[in-house]
Amino acid sequence: MLIIIIIHTLGHFSAFQKSSLFLDIANWLTSQEVSLFLTCITFLGFLYQLYSRRINFAGIVGFIALLMIFLGFIIQGSISLVTLSTFIIGVLFIVIELFIVGAILGIIGLLLVTFSLITMGDNLSMMLFNVIVAMILTVIEWVILVKFFKKRISLFDQVVLKDSTSKESGYTSHNDNTYLVGQNATTLTDLRPSGIIVLDNQRIDAVSEGSFIMKDTAVKIIEVEGTRVVVREQNSK
């Protein structure tokens, strides 16, 4: 069914070839300078759209530029059925990617769309040059968006954990033992300077403030940093 629709569409556009006005417009759209400009706008607009949470002006302009390229080659009659089919399948894959977590279909879709751009028309070297220039500019745009504007692809928010892991948000990577500061305990082993102390029948790994402390010595917990518990002998100053 899709192939029949494509063939029917190409048949309608072939009628435009009889009009010199449409041919002039098509020749202008597919010229080296204009096609290069439209290809760059397409790539730059689509990349910026990836970093937006909703459809924006850049994405719309990029889509219009891509549509103008295809219309130019279709009116010229220099676009093959394979190229047009590849483009449509690639776009479908990209659309499906928006609703399915994963990157395989999206990557395949982008590759198919890029391939269809390169194979449009009869001048393969010109279109390949256009795509290479557009990709170079896209890389520059990506660096600017990520490095300077700290942009992130909003689509990845569906699979990337964004919950805050700060202490203020209630997240701790270990047990919070800060309540131990100021309490008295007894060394169960010698602290050389690390060892074990006992507090309310609870064994706790601890280190001395720096000096050697014998076992069965009364100590005071003076600092807790993460899992590190620092003690001082009670009769020391």
Q: What per-residue confidence (pLDDT) applies to 22? A: 84
Same domain, 90 and 147: yes
Same domain, 154 and 185: no
Same domain, 34 and 149: yes
pLDDT digits (tens, 9 = 90+) for 14-65: 555 556 888 889 999 999 999 999 999 999 988 888 777 777 898 889 889 9
Same domain, 18 and 81: yes
Same domain, 184 and 80: no
Q: What per-residue confidence (pLDDT) applies to 98? A: 62
Structural domain range at position 36: 2-158
Task: Give how many domains the chain has, as a whole number.
Answer: 2
Cα–Cα distance, 140 to 144 (Å, whole number): 6
pLDDT digits (tens, 9 = 90+) for 199-216: 988 899 999 987 888 989
Q: Note the pTM of the prediction, 2 decimals.
A: 0.58
Q: Does 22 map to a domain?
A: yes
Same domain, 78 and 129: yes
Q: What per-residue confidence (pLDDT) applies to 4? A: 43
Same domain, 187 and 147: no
Same domain, 153 and 182: no
Same domain, 68 and 122: yes
Same domain, 151 and 203: no
Q: Flag residues of the chain having pLDDT under 70.
A: 1-19, 97-103, 106, 153-176, 236-237
Q: What per-residue confidence (pLDDT) applies to 103? A: 58
